[in-house]
Copies of this chain bind each other. A is one copy, B any other.
Amino acid sequence: MNDLPKKVHINEEGPREGFQFEKGPIPTARKVELIDALSKTGVKHIQIVSFVSPKAVPTMADAEDVVRGLTLEPGVAYTGLWFNDQGLDRAIGTGRLEIKGSISITASAPFLKKNLNRTPEQQRAVTRGMLDTYRQRGIPLDRATVMAAFGCNFAGDIPVERVVEMVGQLLDLAAEQGVKLERVSLADTMAWATPYSIKRVVGAVKAKYPQLELELHLHDTRGMGIANAYAGMEMGVKRFDSSVGGLGGCPFAGHAGAAGNVCTEDLVFMCDESGIETGIDLEKLAACGRLAEDVVGHPLPGSVMKGGSLRALRAKVREGIAEGARA
């Protein structure tokens, strides 16, 4: 089965993922510098901050300052992440972010217990509460995610039927509030996916819900990120989360939790070379990858920013031929 899309939409999550992951403090101005550079690459969506407790995540304490410091680029949606009403209020308070609702449920009950200390029933109740808030405040629901859709460190393999069932639960929860979900995100939260399982799970969800658009959130902990993205594209998936430079991860073995999102430049390179449009300028994006390394102060996992794209090489070859023709 090969259903390669003509065009792919990329949600850049590097700033939010990366700044959250980094241990050392990063000056607000440098965060702004990277986000501003990203906004000029053709990326249409950048998730930049989390509105979380500064005690829990000190590196996000300057979230409002980051948002305030940006030079907003027309046509780019800047978004933030929040987990409760307080976070939502902070996001709205900036007056500069696109406020769209998101909900998520988890395919693994043990993970839910470990991560949020909730039962699946409690999680559905929380989700209902969030949907209610969105409805009351007129916030459109943009994203609905099944977390741990490809496996879980605490539950092991997740049966495909379970993922299909969770997608159904999301549709039902939204429908209760009169919202018809048109898109669902499948998240490989703990990097269990391989191209093989991507095709199996995406195929099963599409078989049951052929009208539903799917989105993939892929982590690269086991080096499968790009292969998983391509497998998704071959199954017709058109939307991906990714991180410039692979922000959120680190190539050092000693660095626990080296689990970034799939690298944006590498993904865009693969799309470019497959005739799939992204609207993003790869050279500018690769420069952002190198800037990100400078901002965080250590190497990042991305490959294309180091190995180079093929555009410059092709241009050199053409020049060589032209010179040869003149000789």
Contacts and interface: CB of A to CB of B under 8 A. Distances in A.
Contact of A195 (B196, B223, B224, B270): B270
A313 interface: yes
A223 B273 contact: no
A320 interface: yes
Contact of A251 (B266, B301, B304): B301
A2 B155 CA distance: 30
Interface stretch (A10-18, A130-138, A225-233): A225-233
Nearest to A197: B273
A180 interface: no
A271 to B, nearest CB: 9
Given A290-B253, A306-B253, A313 B270 contact: no
7 closest A-B pairs by beta carbon, nearest first, are: A223-B303, A221-B307, A227-B227, A196-B274, A156-B317, A223-B266, A251-B251
24 contacts: A153-B316, A153-B317, A155-B317, A195-B230, A196-B270, A196-B273, A196-B274, A196-B275, A197-B273, A222-B307, A222-B309, A223-B263, A223-B269, A223-B302, A223-B304, A223-B307, A227-B270, A230-B231, A251-B251, A251-B306, A252-B299, A252-B306, A253-B290, A253-B299
